[in-house]
Amino acid sequence: MLDAVRAEALKLHRHRATWLMVWIYPVGVALITLGVLIYTALSASGPPEAGSSAARWIADSAIFWSIPKSAPGRFLIAGFAALVFAGEYGWNTWKLIIPARSRWQLIAAKWVVVFGFVLLSLLATDLIGLLGEWLGGFLGSPLPEGITFAALADAHLRAMANALLPIAYTVAFAGLFAVLTQSILATVILSIALVVIEQLMPLLAVFAAQYALSLTALLVEVLPFYHIANFLSWTTGRGLTLPLAPDTIISFSMGSSAAILAGWTVAAGAATQLRFLRQDLN
């Protein structure tokens, strides 16, 4: 299994698409940070600006962990997963690597590499952003008083933890779409459609509830669309309450939606493995 992960990582870490969809975050932030620091160092110093509070500064410093919770960020994650999973069909390389390893290991290795690359990219981006903010405190406005390492670590670890499930959920369904369609383009289209449906879900649910209230409420509670939206809403402070009727209000806790999303993620992964094990790839 470790050999499969190592081989997959070696194949992808320098791939052009990996640079465009994964490594672009730390590279882009590093270049922007460097430019801002140079500009700050060369510009004439003016009166000190009114800074934000320590709590606000710490919260803002973890902004890069919101990338996998945003629609554009998830589009790129799904696009990378589409390349990794569906690319083997387009390149016709499955038949070359299947004899060497078990099929389930090949899929599992792709999950590990996609998830690991995305997480590593975001972690590097976060650290680069923090370093830039720290250096900027010496060149421009000083950092707010009251910032401690413990508070900073707690905020960033929480932000990272809240990003793990959206990443896993997006990768799992992109992998499933790839195995079902065997096409990079189709996988990307279906992944984008999934995110768009999540965005439109509240409006669609309210509209459908006028005609089939009980069925709509059941589908909202069972399908993952509401729960990913609710989970993401909870990460910003409060959940998504969906009033379908005066006596029918959908509201789940963050933990409940996370558990349901985890179940859908595992189900998508199991379906991917089952379908791949039965595919004729000769």
Tens of pLDDT, residue by residue over 36-79, are 888 878 775 555 555 568 888 888 888 999 999 999 999 999 99
pLDDT tens string for the chain (282 positions)?
777 787 778 888 888 888 889 999 999 999 999 998 888 787 755 555 555 688 888 888 889 999 999 999 999 999 999 999 998 888 777 766 776 678 888 899 999 999 999 999 999 999 999 998 888 877 777 778 878 889 899 999 999 999 999 999 999 999 999 999 999 999 999 999 999 999 898 899 999 988 899 999 999 999 999 999 999 999 988 888 888 888 888 999 999 999 999 999 999 999 999 999 888 776
Please answer whether residues 105 and 67 qualify as being in contact, where contact means their C-beta atoms are separated by less than 8 angstroms. no
Helix (H, G, I), strand (E, B) or coil at 243: strand
Helices (H), 92-148: 94-97, 103-139
Q: Which residues contact 182 (CB under 8 A, 6 or more apart)?
A: 86, 89
Q: Which two tokens stand for residue 248?
A: 């029918």
Going by C-alpha positions, the residue among 254, 77, 39, 56 that lies closest to residue 168 is: 77
pTM here is: 0.90
As a whole number of angstroms, the distance between CA 177 and CA 159 comes to 28
Tens of pLDDT, residue by residue over 220-242, are 999 999 999 999 999 988 888 88
As a whole number of angstroms, the distance between CA 168 and CA 200 comes to 21
CA distances from 25 to 32, 63, 132, 136, 214 (A): 11, 12, 14, 20, 44
Q: Which two tokens stand for residue 46?
A: 């003016």
